Homo-oligomer: A and B are copies of this chain.
Amino acid sequence: MAPVKNGRLVFSEIPTGLPEPGKTTVYDESQTIDLESVPLSGGILVKTLVLSIDPYLRGRMRDANIESYAPPFIIGEPLDNYGVGLVLRSEHASFKAGDHVYGTHPFQRYFVAPPADAEKLTVLKNEEGLPWSVYVGVCGMPGQTAHHAWREYSQAKPGETVFITTGAGPVGATVIQIAKQQGLKVIASAGSEEKVAFIKSLGADVAFNYKTERTRDVLARAGPIDIFWDNVGGETLEAAIDASSVGARFIECGAISAYNGEEPYYVKNLMLIMGKQLKISGFIVMWLHEKHLAHFYETFPRLVKEGKINYTEDATRGLERAGHAIVDVQTGRNTGKSVVIVSEE
């Protein structure tokens, strides 16, 4: 069989504000791969099916000298992120051709994972027969984020009130549904009327558009809050501190408001952390896997199959469009979990 084109999305330049497709990221088809003869050296050959597009990818588009929790992308190399792939060939005992794997995938149509990288991939059983894209969404990292951190930090009790930001995002939407199932009152925000309607459909008791209504005003009316799920930071965090009850738990999941180089907003009421006995917990989902991942895979795919956890997906077809999907997520133009369908099986 002749070599085929092996398209990839390359990190080309560090952006100052929003990433720009064609500049920050460049789609490149100059490389080819011979799927039958490429040497595996004990590893596996994977065809990328689905890639996840997440807010935190912006943070990886930085100067490689700046430390942060996720490694920087390397100029001239393809981006990488959570994805689902199909094993085409295997020289590794843990995998066989036809397996579907979940884990870090380069933004590249085909790739060889050497043994050490292959061993970090999980073989998906998918006994529920869910679409593979679900495994980078509600059954992947965003769902895990919601599930793990809620279990670890929320200390939720029925009748309490939770405020969830970016409620229409894949994490926020999942948290809303978990909270409602546990009998909490849910206040949730999003950035468009369409998203607010989606949040309401998930069962949020109070849903609002933070672009047309002030978070502070809504919380004054619908609060106080016992739990704050923070995907935003900045001024919203300040409003949540002011509106929190004594002993409230703050789950610090993201700060998308500060990702794209605008002058950040500095929180001015941190002194209330004491007076209100707040408990503020930050986390990266990977660090919670050991304690919560087994429970997640035991419960979440089934809940999704049974329609007890719902989700929406915003699928972009074609790796060459992935750069645009990244920008859409940064500006909130996506509706539902953003995924890139690289290949059908």
Q: Are B255 and A271 in contact (CB under 8 A)?
A: yes
A282 lies within 8 A of chain B by Cβ = yes
A157 proximal to B (CB < 8 A): no
3 A-B pairs with least C-beta separation: A273-B282, A266-B266, A69-B275
Residue in B closest to A281 when the chains form the complex, CB atoms: B279
A277 interfacial by beta-carbon distance below 8 Å: yes
Decide: A237 and B270 in contact? CB cutoff 8 A. Answer: yes
Interface size class of A (residues with CB under 8 A): 20 to 34
Contacts A267-B267, A268-B264 given; does A282 touch B287 at CB 8 Å: no
Q: In the bound complex, do residue A274 and residue B287 qualify as a contact, i.e. CB atoms below 8 Å apart?
A: no
A265 to B, closest residue via Cβ: B266
Asked, given contacts A264-B268, A268-B264, A268-B266, whether A284 binds B274 with beta carbons under 8 Å apart, the answer is yes
- Taking CB atoms, residues of chain B closer than 8 Å to A254 are 274
With a cutoff of 8 Å between Cβ atoms, the chain B residues found around residue A80 in the complex are none
Are B270 and A255 touching (Cβ within 8 A)?
Answer: yes
Judged by a CB distance under 8 angstroms, whether A258 is at the interface is yes
CA distance A275 to B275 in the complex (A): 26
Chain A residues within 8 Å of B, Cβ to Cβ: 68-69, 233, 237, 246-247, 252-255, 258, 264, 266-268, 270-284, 287
Which residues of chain B have C-beta atoms less than 8 A from A278's C-beta? 280-282
With a cutoff of 8 Å between Cβ atoms, the chain B residues found around residue A69 in the complex are 274-276
Chain B minimum-CB-distance residue to A237: B270
* Contacting residues, chain B, for A280 (C-beta < 8 A): 273, 278-281
Residues of B within 8 A of A68 (CB): 275
Contacts A69-B276, A252-B274, A264-B268 known; 19 new A-B pairs at CB < 8 A = A68-B275, A233-B270, A233-B271, A246-B287, A247-B287, A252-B273, A253-B274, A255-B270, A255-B271, A255-B274, A266-B267, A273-B282, A274-B283, A274-B284, A275-B282, A279-B279, A279-B280, A279-B282, A280-B280
Q: Which residue of B lies closest to A272 (CB)?
A: B282
| Interchain CB contact under 8 A, A258 and B274 | no
Residues of chain B lying within 8 A (CB to CB) of residue A274: 69, 252-255, 282-284
CA of A233 to CA of B270, assembled, Å: 8
Closest to A258 in B: B271
Residues of B within 8 A of A266 (CB): 266-268
The CA of A282 and the CA of B275, in the complex, are separated in Å by 7
